[in-house]
Amino acid sequence: PRKIIIDTDPGQDDAFAMLLALGSPDELEVIGVTAVAGNVPLARTTLNAQMVLELAGRADIPVYPGCERPMVRSLFTAEYVHGDSGLDGCDLPAPSAPLGEKHGVDFIIDSLMAAPPGTVTVCTLGPMTNLAMAMVKQPAIVPRIAEVVLMGGGFFEGGNTTPAAEFNIFVDPHAAHVVFTSGVKLAMVPIDCTYKAILTPGWLAELRTVGSNTAIQSAGMAEFYQRFGNEKFGTDSYPLHDPCVIGYLLRPDLFGGRMCHVAIDLVSPLTAGMTVVDWWNVTKKPPNCMVLRDLDNDGFYALLLERLARLP
């Protein structure tokens, strides 16, 4: 299986991403989870990551707390989407396993320096602070990373946090800039793609019929999270962003996109945090990122259901 580090700020959709990876042990080996401040503050994203691992029966995978604030800006959180806990809608017991014994940034560095080059993929599901800090602290990790697959950004759909910026990039645009200019192999799953990963009440009902604890708790999370769809889109469905990252690793054939040059706006008061995607290659700058835009929604949700159903 492909070795991955999941860097995350759970977040109900982060939880689905973790569960999708954990339900896919033939393809993916989660070597560690690093938590970052994002949807809610770090203490809570760390705890949430631990609780999700325990839900999946994988408390053996360590959680390493990372950065508690973005590189330059002050932390901006999203309780308005995810609830005060970040994981409202489920009821998970306090974790029993101890936390990993190093900082998340050091875990990322040490894992990449210890593994053969090109064997560890980093999946970022929140602000990219931990990965950027790791690249700043130890630049030698950059050529050793197999690939970075991130949820973040948006170009054709605009932003979900400002008119121009998606949440994960908006919270720490400087971190995104460090990663996008590093030369690392990069694939981004922006909201242009995740807005096609629509979670419907019908799918949720199917998930509930699985009957396992993971299915029941994750359905509870989804139900809470989905209410945001009513407020935002006036529908009873809502996109699950972060599991698309894992979906892409498992089934790239479900996704469509192209290599583009992507730059992060750091300065404009109107558009800071925007991912400026040169989709039409008008700048002739060399592409630095696979930008995903299309998704086979039915195939993706079939995969998600199948893999969640494997968990306890």
Tell me which residues touch Ca ion (CB under 5 A).
9, 11, 14, 125-126, 242
d(C-alpha 129, C-alpha 71), whole Å? 6
- Are 135 and 141 in contact by the 8 Å Cβ rule? The answer is yes
Amino acid at the residue 299: G
Q: Which does 159 bind (CB under 5 to 8 A by kind): ligand BDR, Ca ion, none?
A: none
Give the number of other CB atoms < 10 A from CB of residue 268. 10
d(C-alpha 180, C-alpha 57), whole Å? 35
**Closest by Cα among 7, 5, 17 to 225:** 17
Interface residues with ligand BDR (CB under 6 A) are: 11, 13-14, 39, 78, 81, 125-126, 151, 160, 166-168, 241-242
Direct distance between the N- and C-terminal alpha carbons of the chain, in angstroms, rounded to an integer: 21
Q: Which does 243 bind (CB under 5 to 8 A by kind): ligand BDR, Ca ion, none?
A: none
Has 241 been annotated as catalytic?
Answer: yes
- Check 103, 174, 241, 261 and give the catalytic one: 241
Looking at the Cβ atoms of 32 and 127, the one nearer to ligand BDR is 127
Both tokens of 170, joined, read 């908006």
Looking at the Cβ atoms of 39 and 106, the one nearer to ligand BDR is 39
Minimum distance between the CB of residue 170 and ligand BDR, rounded to whole angstroms?
9
Q: Which does 160 bind (CB under 5 to 8 A by kind): ligand BDR, Ca ion, none?
A: ligand BDR
d(C-alpha 161, C-alpha 135), whole Å? 26
Looking at the Cβ atoms of 28 and 244, the one nearer to ligand BDR is 244
Minimum distance between the CB of residue 2 and ligand BDR, rounded to whole angstroms?
21
Give the number of other CB atoms < 10 A from CB of residue 135. 26
Minimum distance between the CB of residue 238 and ligand BDR, rounded to whole angstroms?
11
Active site residues: 241
